[in-house]
Amino acid sequence: MNIVTPFTRRLAHQLALRGMALCLLLSPVAWPAAMARDGVDVGTNSAFSRLVPADDVEHAATQQYAQLLQQAAQKNALGGNDHPQVRRLRAIAGRIIPLATAWNPRARGWRWEVNLIGSRQINAFCMPGGKIAFYSGILEQLRLTDDEVAMVMGHEIAHALREHARERMGKNAVTGIGASLLSQVLGLGQVGQTVTHYGAQLLTLEFSRKDESEADLVGMELAARAGYDPRAGITLWQKMGAASKEAPPQWLSTHPSGNSRIADIEANLPKVMPLYERAKRS
């Protein structure tokens, strides 16, 4: 009995096209010219990030960031433009941000923001689209030097440049594709649902240890090129380790152990110290 109908042929054709498109999206790509240079080597951005529209993720981040700042302002916990720590953070960011486009050309069009939120949390973040915030606790409790602040800021900016949040959403979208294949054939609706669902949770998305280690290295290079001593990464994580003895800071919740990241920093110092020395001479 012939069970091949026009519908089944059309469905098979659509499935084949989807499979080909997914393979193309997830296939390795050539290294950008900007990456073929001195410094650390972490490869290209994950192909999974290409499954989710960057504009959608950045728009969701902008909305959530604005809500967070509004909530802080209502509690009188948002640092003003004349606050010494706000000026300090923005000055450091002003040296790092111009270097961002070498890692992600989209950063050229981002509307960068840097703000300070009054809280005892030992935390900082950079959301997609360049939305940076530091909590006062990380500056005050750890008594960070400018070099150490630059290491923290570089790390968080690296998450945005490497599109780790978008990658996480893309992986969730692929899981959805496997779970609801027919709906995917009819329009990849799960991707839009993923952005909608996770866009409101950008601050709570957990990155993998690989993502965190990658952000350490990219952040260290950004700081070094901006003229901040990358060896400050060692003292930063020593301070983080001391702070985590009583209770792990939120900022360390999903990160590799302090000892392992210090070892990685030390191993990569020879790659970034020349960048730092060059920046200091210029």
DSSP string, 203-252: TTPPPPHHHHHHHHHHHHHHHHHTT--TTHHHHHHHHHHHHTTTS--GGG
Q: Is the pLDDT of residue 256 over 80?
A: no
Cα separation of 20 and 282, whole Å? 49
The length of the chain, given as a count of residues: 282
Q: What mean pLDDT comes out for the span 92-104?
A: 96
Q: For position 208, what pLDDT does the model report?
A: 66
**Which residue in the list 113, 148, 156, 167 is annotated as catalytic?**
156
* Least trusted range by pLDDT, from 11-15, 34-38, 93-97, 157-161: 11-15
Instruction: Give yes or no for residue 114 having a pLDDT over 70.
Output: yes
What is the per-residue pLDDT across 23-52, written as a single tens digit (0 to 9) for each?
A: 444 444 443 444 446 878 777 776 656 667
Render the burial of 140-156: b for 16+ CB within 10 Å, e for the rest: eebebebbbbbbbbbbb
- State yes or no: pLDDT of 230 exceeds 60: yes
Q: pLDDT per residue over 190-201, tens digit each?
A: 445 555 555 555
pLDDT of residue 7: 42
By the 10 Å C-beta count (0-12 exposed, 13-18 middle, 19+ buried), 114 is classed as buried
Contacts of residue 116, defined as CB under 8 A and 6 or more positions apart, other chains included, come to 78, 79, 83, 85, 86, 89, 133, 134, 135, 136
Question: Has residue 221 got a pLDDT over 50?
Answer: yes
pLDDT reading at 272 higher than 90 = yes
User: Mean pLDDT, the chain, as a whole number?
Assistant: 78
pTM for the model stands at 0.77
105 pLDDT more than 90:
yes
Mark whether 156 is an active-site residue.
yes
Percent pLDDT > 90 in the chain is 49
- For residue 175, the model assigns a pLDDT of 61
CB 131 within 8 A of CB 65: yes
- Residue where the block lists tokens 């409790």: 141
